């Protein structure tokens, strides 16, 4: 597998929701045709040897689990969605509640790990919702849902315990982390 295909695979894995070809081309500084060729090579590489495959939906491509393992993944997902929230899910929900609306990349940055599956879990449970970013129509923001607020008996997220204090601490954490990265 060539370097371009590896980069496409990495971006599709991290994106979680898939990406349109023109966006991949922009990020990788390649032409759409080169991206399509890289995707074709990635498809060949994944075919029969891996538990992932490429899903194409018009101009959007996603990295998804193959049909060979779909039942296993479905059973796992049902168990995850039916049970109590995990520590990671509660952590993610807290970040979205006190920082939201927030990009998934920001949640990942704050938590220090990929949060795609957990965000999908929270979306499916109806605790958070995804909305378009008004500053970038290609991106999404995540915020708590009305159902989340109803479940807790709150009128707004600002009614969360010590909302102002924790929101401020989270903002300071992000600023300090950014300063430390620049110094390195």
**Residue 6: pLDDT over 60:** yes
Distance CA 21, CA 29 (A): 12
Q: Which of 163, 75, 85, 167 is nearest to 119 (CA)?
A: 85
Helix (H) or strand (E) run with residue 133 in it: strand 128-133
Q: Which of 17, 119, 121, 107 is nearest to 76 (CA)?
A: 121
Helix (H) or strand (E) run with residue 54 in it: strand 52-57
Q: Same CATH topology for 3-67 and 84-183?
A: yes
Q: Tell me the CATH architecture of domain 3-67.
A: Orthogonal Bundle (1.10)
Residue spans per domain, the chain: 3-67, 84-183
Q: Tell me the CATH architecture of domain 84-183.
A: Orthogonal Bundle (1.10)
Highest mean pLDDT among 8-17, 37-46, 86-95, 98-107: 37-46
What are the tens digits of pLDDT across the range 110-147?
Answer: 888 988 889 988 988 888 999 988 888 778 899 998 88
Highest mean pLDDT among 20-29, 61-70, 92-101, 121-130: 20-29
Cβ-proximal residues to 163 (8 Å cutoff; 6+ apart), any chain: 98, 157
């Amino acid at each position: 597998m060539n370097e371009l295909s590896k980069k496409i695979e990495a971006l599709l894995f991290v994106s979680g929701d898939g990406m349109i070809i023109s966006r991949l081309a922009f990020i990788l500084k390649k032409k759409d045709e080169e991206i399509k060729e890289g995707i074709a090579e990635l498809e060949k590489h994944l075919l029969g040897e891996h538990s992932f495959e490429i899903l194409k939906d018009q101009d959007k491509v996603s990295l998804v689990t193959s049909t060979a393992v779909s039942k296993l993944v479905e059973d796992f997902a049902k168990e995850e969605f039916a049970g109590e929230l995990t520590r990671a899910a509660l952590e993610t929900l807290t970040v979205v509640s006190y920082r939201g609306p927030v990009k998934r990349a920001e949640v990942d940055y704050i938590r220090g790990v990929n949060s795609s599956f957990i965000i999908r879990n929270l979306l499916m449970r109806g605790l958070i919702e995804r909305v378009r970013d008004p500053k970038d129509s290609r991106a999404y923001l995540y915020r708590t849902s009305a159902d989340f607020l109803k479940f807790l008996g709150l009128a707004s997220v600002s009614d969360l315990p010590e909302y102002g204090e924790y929101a401020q601490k989270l903002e300071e954490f992000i600023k300090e982390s950014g300063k430390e990265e620049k110094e390195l």
